[in-house]
Amino acid sequence: MTLRERLRALPTFARPGLPVLDTAAAPPTPHDLFVTWIEQAIDGGLLAPQAATLSTADAAGRVHARTLVLKDVTADGWWFASQSTGPKGRDLAANPNAALTFFWPELGRQVKVTGTAASAGAEASRADFLARPDLSRAAGLVNHQSEPLGSQEEYADAFAEALRTVTADPGLAAPDWTAYVLAPTEVEFWQAPDDGPHARLLYRATADGWSTGLLWP
């Protein structure tokens, strides 16, 4: 069997009893619906429900995507963090347009958040870094994200030194660590059914708040 045939034979959603998106009863803001959905994913024991694909583009329009973790959702937007000097930070400095995509296959759900991302400021960035476990703080202090690496031993030595540093100074924050907020202009909720058509609900930001509408599957 070829790879194409194997891929086509895979089930899309093997779990019966998928939830239903009642578009007529949707809350007035996408933030409220998203929090409901991710809390259901957390309560359902899904693996890494906070994981999302962040898509960015540089000044030349070249698109980059990677998986990261969601830090929070507030009225300001969807929060994540990274080094401002790394690829994500450089892309966002040149082009703030970005998108976050969440996929929870066990629930047959996907959420796409599209908008612009900006730094939440020095205080929020420092607080985010200091809230990380020591191992994560050490990795952030090493930095050099996505730069060429000569060997794993080179990284192991740098990491060990960074771990000693952050352990000795719990108040030390990496200077380039940045908390970002993606302020959405559109948020799409996608729900697969057990049997029948998909449901797609789109929120669009307006001068007065949010408008909602359905999309063809």
What tens digit of pLDDT does each residue of 71-111 get?
Answer: 999 999 999 999 999 999 999 999 999 999 999 999 999 99
40, exposed or middle or buried, with CB in 10 Å at 0-12, 13-18, 19+? middle
What tens digit of pLDDT does each residue of 120-131 get?
Answer: 999 999 999 999
Average pLDDT in the 41-63 region? Answer: 97
Average pLDDT in the 45-73 region? Answer: 97
Going by C-beta distance under 8 Å and a sequence separation of 6 or more, which residues neighbour residue 44? 106, 107
Cα–Cα distance for residue pair 72/68, rounded to 1 Å: 13
Cβ-contact 182, 100 below 8 angstroms = yes
Cβ-contact 94, 58 below 8 angstroms = yes
pLDDT at 14: 66
What tens digit of pLDDT does each residue of 162-185 get?
Answer: 899 989 998 989 999 999 999 999
Q: pTM score > 0.85 for this model?
A: yes
pLDDT at 57: 98
Cα–Cα distance for residue pair 170/137, rounded to 1 Å: 9
As given in the structure block, the two tokens for residue 173 are 């924050």
pLDDT at 159: 87
Q: What is the mean pLDDT of the chain?
A: 94
